[in-house]
Amino acid sequence: MLSFTWPWIGLLLPLPLLVYWAMPRATRLDAALFVPFFKEVQGGDRHPARAGGRLATRLLLGLIWVLLLLAASRPQWVGEAVALPASGRDLMLGVDISGSMDTPDMLLHGSPVARIDLVKKVVNEFIDRRQGDRVGLLLFGTEPYIQAPLTFDRPTVKTLLAETQTGFAGKKTAIGDAIGLAVKHLKERPANSRVLVLLTDGNNTAGNVEPLQAAKLAAQTEVRIHTIGVGADEMTIRTFFGNRRVNPSADLDEATLQEIAKLTGGQYFRARNPTELEKVYQLIDQLEPVPQEDETFRPTRALCHWPLAGALLVSLGLAGLHAKPMRGLGK
């Protein structure tokens, strides 16, 4: 479909005629140069061939004016509507980056790794599978902040997650504030398609909003929260008196995480090792998509260069029509 960005420019089409009619006619007294043989010249212009040349010139000048106005109106070709891939999900990933996420209680290929490193690996794979979803990244410690807003650009979200370091947002954990910030960014999205996946390894030790209070707010705005408690139940550490087994997840507040999920219609998952963490995200990955209005866009292609090229060619033709052959020197 052909469309014009500024169609009102067509109103300038009769401007040359208005100028021609409005300008005062030159008289003999106004003439700057008197030609004794003016009548002969004037009579020669009435020759049919000369009259035809003047008519052709005016037609070509009019065509140039029309082509210039056509280019100035910015014509463009609008293609057929193309549907954007969308499964109806607005998925915010909330990742705890407090100091405890550096705890090396996860075994990956037989070697202990920090919790945050394992989370990055598993979440990256999870993001790869979320084709068609808007994915956002929320990081929280003592303070929460949006690292990546909801976007279809999943590679960028993965890059921002890979660059994340623990302690950037403080050493403590503000679960309630993190939920509140996620709700603020999700509430403008279509209802029944707002999802927050919140991963933490501790309990609420900072912030201004209590987690359950924030969960009730999320339930009111139809934000579904899936909570994940990460961390091993047992870990061997070396002390002065030898090896000792401890529970590195003693601070994990599972009861609160379970209640948050329950209040918002989500589920709580426990990930004690890499296998369990991968299964958690696979289960979340299987959630049935919620349909919403399809988003489409129409590709556009600018066409203004074509009338401009036409005006240039007609101008060259007009110049050639009025060009006179050069006379030889010495005559």
In a domain, 167, yes or no: yes
Domain extent for 305: 2-80+298-322
In a domain, 222, yes or no: yes
Element (H, E) at 197: strand 194-200
Query: Which two tokens mark 260?
Result: 């948050």
In a domain, 168, yes or no: yes
pLDDT digits (tens, 9 = 90+) for 301-326: 888 889 889 889 988 888 877 765 54
55 in the same domain as 188: no
The burial class, CB within 10 Å (0-12 / 13-18 / 19+), for 18 is exposed
pTM for this model (two decimals):
0.61
265 in the same domain as 158: yes
Once rounded to an integer, what is the mean pLDDT over residues 267-282? 87
In a domain, 35, yes or no: yes
**Strand-pair partners of 83:** 296
220 in the same domain as 184: yes
- pLDDT value at position 94? 94
Number of domains in the chain: 2
In a domain, 330, yes or no: no
Give the pLDDT band (50/70/90) at residue 329.
very low
Element (H, E) at 181: helix 175-186
69 in the same domain as 18: yes
107 in the same domain as 57: no
224 in the same domain as 155: yes
Percent of the chain whose pLDDT exceeds 70: 79
Average pLDDT, the chain: 81
- Cβ–Cβ < 8 Å for 301, 76: yes
C-beta contacts of 25-28 below 8 A and 24+ residues apart = none
109 in the same domain as 62: no
18-32, 62-76, 194-208, 270-284: the lowest-pLDDT one: 18-32
Element (H, E) at 282: helix 274-285
Once rounded to an integer, what is the mean pLDDT over residues 48-76? 81
Return the DSSP state at 159: H
192 in the same domain as 316: no
- pLDDT value at position 158? 93
- pLDDT value at position 220? 93
In a domain, 291, yes or no: no
230 in the same domain as 154: yes
98 in the same domain as 27: no
Once rounded to an integer, what is the mean pLDDT over residues 231-238? 73
- pLDDT value at position 27? 57
The answer, yes or no, to whether residue 64 has pLDDT greater than 50, is yes
In a domain, 331, yes or no: no
Report helix, strand or coil for 98.
Answer: coil
Element (H, E) at 236: strand 235-239
pLDDT digits (tens, 9 = 90+) for 134-178: 899 999 999 999 999 999 888 999 999 999 988 888 889 999 999
CATH number at residue 245: 3.40.50.410
Which amino acid does the sequence have at 304?
A: C
Return the DSSP state at 86: -
Which residues, other chains included, contact 286 with Cβ-Cβ below 8 Å and sequence gap of 6+?
none
In a domain, 328, yes or no: no
Torsion of CA 321, 327, 328, 331, to 10 degrees: 170
- Cβ–Cβ < 8 Å for 259, 267: no
More confident call, 10 vs 218: 218
The C-alpha atoms of residue 298 and residue 78 are separated, in whole angstroms, by 6
The C-alpha atoms of residue 52 and residue 61 are separated, in whole angstroms, by 14
Pairing of strands 194-200, 223-230: parallel
199 in the same domain as 71: no
51 in the same domain as 197: no
Return the DSSP state at 101: G
